[in-house]
Every structure is written in C-alpha cells, then in structure tokens.
Structure 1
Amino acid sequence: MDAPGSLQYTKQYKSISFMVSFNYEAHDCSNLFFRAKPMEPGQDGGYPLDFIYGKIDADFQLQIGIREFQIVMTKELHERMGLLYDLIRNEYVELNNKHL
C-alpha cells in the first residue's frame, strides 16, 4: 500500500474502537485503500494493523479481507464493523470532495 505517489494517513475512531490507516494515489482518488484494527488487545497482545484491509471505490463498493480467516465474531464486533463501513464510506466522500 505504500507505493510511490501514494498518500497515507491514520485515524482513530474511538467511538467504535478502531484504528484505520488510509492510502490513496495522489493523482487518482477513485479508490481509497485502508487497513484497520480493533484498538483493544487481542489474544496475542494486540491485533496487527492489517487485521482488516481493503478498499472502497467510486460506486461505494467495499471490498475487505480479514487477516485471520477465522475470527471470533461477537455481536458487538459485528456492529462495530458495520459502523466502520459507514466511516470508511464517509472518508471516501470527504477525500473526493477535497479533490474536486
């Protein structure tokens, strides 16, 4: 994700306890890539930043991958991941509004 010509920044969404690193091409904002992790410690003392990764495109299609194929999906984590989608979608809109 850290290719030449790309820009990166990180945000902490404390309301849903996720840290998200965003990345996009300076000349093309049609895809916003991200890596995210829950901010609470996992079983190994902490989640890696690319625990959840993916991109959102101009059609608001969100593509994600999860580092570990099997995770413990609690109702609370499921709800937070839904809110994470909303925040990533909003970040995409804000990014593209800056580059109009």
Structure 2
Amino acid sequence: MAFFTVVWKYTDDTELIDKARGPHGAHLKELIGAGSLRIAGPFEDGTGGILVLEVAGQEELKPLLDEDPYVAQGVVVDTQIYPFKPVLGALAG
C-alpha cells in the first residue's frame, strides 16, 4: 500500500461549496469506512483542503478523487498529489 497527500484548492463560489459540502462529507465517510482515507480537513481560511489516502497505487487514487462531489461539482479548481512516506506518528509503519 502507498500513501498520497492530496492538496485541493477550492473555488471562491461559497454557494457551490455549501451545496456540495454534505455529499462531499458522505463520500469521505465512505472512504474512511473502506480504509482508504486516513485523514482529511479544510484549510482554516477555507481556500482548500488536504486528504491523506492509503491505496494500492496512484492508479487507484484518481477514481476515488473523481467520484468526490467537490470534484464532480466543480468546487475543486486545482489538485496537487504527492506520494507520501510516513516515518513518525500514527501512520508510520
């Protein structure tokens, strides 16, 4: 399994963000239940958020992100993906 840090930048359209927030949260809870999403949260200024996912490889990552309502409904305007190797803390193995 591999870890990836996903950094999302959001649109400035707060109405769109508010509309998609509930379905987005439900999607993230599904990913947590499946064991793929390890931690997630928004930036305090509301401009984006970070997800840390554990999946078999990057090819498995894209569909999980594309299914998220924030992506599908246009809340996410930029995505940066970084392979991540936890060496300290709860995710270190």
Give the alignment's TM-score, normalised by structure 1. 0.29
Which protein is bigger by CA-based radius of gyration?
A: 1
Between Structure 1 and Structure 2, the one with more helix by share is: 2
Higher relative contact order (CA 8 A, sep 6+): 2
